[in-house]
């Protein structure tokens, strides 16, 4: 995978870290690059987990029409990544930048970060996922406080309401991201992918249909090499071999 302009990529073991280098950018200018990277991630059997380093980004510019947002939705790109995604953020994480982190599966933030979603006060109502995802992450009440009252949360409050999963010192941000990715990449890639799929399926259906889908995904895994060798190792009290993603 080649480095892209605006974006640098670190590929290590079974994980990948995508760093966005621009301090400020408009979604339509990064959409194409990001889309091609995500297509590669989804099809590359050797990438199991994905990290997004957004600590360089200060601001993502607003798009001024619904049509532009629909065509260049960064949220839809991220939500379509089949593998677990961890986001790294720091500083002023507001509006579109915060919105970009919402479809990620785990968010790590620097201790001095703060979070706002105040588009409404900037005469801009063009959301790219915030009204859908924020209530599901922090609950409807907190989401209304952020979106409708423009309430700012510091990092500790953001951790408490579940907007972020982990807080770390600025000096440990990248190290923590690497550790988390490495930790995740020890798990079964197929099981992680299918589990993520089942959870996200719940966003568009009811529990009974979700349970049926979960059952189908379970059945697909029954015949996988990783499952067989892992269960056999467990039964024989032996250490399992590293997963292959097969």
Partner 1 sequence: MYWKYMKFNKVKNVGNIIFNNPKKNNALSIEMRYEFSEILNACNLDNDIKIVVIKSESNNFCVGADLSEFNSYPSIIESNLISKENTLWKDLYNFNKPIICITQGWVVGSGFEIVLLSDFVFSHQSTIFKMPEVELSITPISGGTQTLLKKTSISVAKEILLFAQPVDVYKAYDYGIVNFHSHDYDLLLKKVDEFSQNIENIELNRIKNVKNLLRVSSDENIFLSEQLEKIYSEVN
Query: Is 79 an interacting residue with respect to partner 1 (CB under 8 A)?
Result: no
**Of residues 63 and 192, the one with the C-beta less far from partner 1:** 192
Query: Is 242 an interacting residue with respect to partner 1 (CB under 8 A)?
Result: no
Query: Is 62 an interacting residue with respect to partner 1 (CB under 8 A)?
Result: no
Q: Name the phi and psi angles at 24, rounded to 5.
A: -145, 135
Instruction: Tell me which stretch binds partner 1 (CB under 8 A): 15-23, 28-36, 67-75, 211-219.
Output: 211-219
3-state secondary structure at position 12:
strand
Question: Nearest Cα to 128, choosing from 168, 76, 93, 81?
Answer: 76
Query: Is 223 an interacting residue with respect to partner 1 (CB under 8 A)?
Result: yes
DSSP string, 74-141: HHHHHHT--S-EEEEE-SEEEHHHHHHHTTSSEEEEETT-EEE--GGGGT----SSHHHHHHHHH-HH
Residues in contact with 181: Cβ distance below 8 Å, sequence separation at least 6, in sequence order: 15, 17, 49, 51, 86
d(C-alpha 51, C-alpha 209), whole Å: 31
Site for partner 1 in 88-147 (CB under 8 A): 105-107, 133, 136-139
**In the complex, minimum distance from the CB of residue 117 to partner 1, in angstroms, rounded to a whole number:** 16
Instruction: Tell me which stretch binds partner 1 (CB under 8 A): 21-29, 70-78, 145-153, 230-238.
Output: 230-238
**In the complex, minimum distance from the CB of residue 103 to partner 1, in angstroms, rounded to a whole number:** 10
d(C-alpha 24, C-alpha 26), whole Å: 7
Task: Report the interhelical angle of 207-221 vs 189-201 (nearest 10°).
Answer: 160
Query: Is 243 an interacting residue with respect to partner 1 (CB under 8 A)?
Result: yes
**In the complex, minimum distance from the CB of residue 202 to partner 1, in angstroms, rounded to a whole number:** 5
3-state secondary structure at position 71:
helix
From residue 181 to residue 210, the character string flagging contacts with partner 1 as x (rule: CB under 8 A) and all else as - is --xx-xxx-xxx-xxx-xx-xxx--xxx-x
Place of tokens 């080649």: 2
**In the complex, minimum distance from the CB of residue 75 to partner 1, in angstroms, rounded to a whole number:** 14
Query: Which residues are at the interface with partner 1 (CB under 8 A)?
Result: 84, 105-107, 133, 136-139, 162-163, 165, 183-184, 186-188, 190-192, 194-196, 198-199, 201-203, 206-208, 210-211, 214-215, 217-219, 221-224, 226-228, 230-232, 234-235, 243
């Amino acid at each position: 995978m080649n480095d892209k302009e605006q974006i640098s990529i670190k590929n290590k073991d079974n994980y990948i870290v995508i760093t966005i280098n621009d301090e400020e950018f408009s979604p339509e200018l990064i959409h194409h690059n990001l889309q091609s990277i995500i297509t590669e991630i989804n099809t590359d059997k050797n990438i199991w987990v994905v990290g997004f380093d957004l600590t360089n980004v200060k601001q993502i510019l607003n798009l001024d029409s619904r049509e532009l947002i629909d065509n260049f939705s960064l949220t839809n790109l991220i939500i379509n990544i089949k593998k677990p995604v961890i986001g790294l953020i720091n500083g002023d994480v507001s509006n579109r930048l915060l919105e970009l982190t919402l479809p990620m599966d785990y968010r790590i933030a620097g201790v001095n970060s703060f979070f706002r979603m105040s588009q409404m006060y900037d005469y801009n109502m063009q959301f790219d996922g915030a009204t859908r995802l924020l209530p599901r992450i922090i609950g409807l009440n907190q989401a209304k406080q952020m979106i409708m009252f423009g309430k700012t949360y510091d990092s500790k409050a953001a951790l408490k309401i579940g907007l972020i999963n982990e807080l770390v010192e600025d000096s440990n941000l990248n190290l923590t991201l690497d550790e988390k990715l490495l930790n995740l990449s020890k798990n079964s890639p197929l099981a992680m992918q299918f589990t993520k799929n089942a959870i996200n399926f719940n966003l568009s259906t009811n529990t009974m249909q979700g349970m049926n889908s979960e059952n189908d995904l379970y059945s697909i895994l029954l015949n996988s090499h990783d499952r067989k060798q892992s269960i056999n190792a467990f039964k024989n009290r032996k250490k399992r071999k590293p997963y292959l993603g097969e």
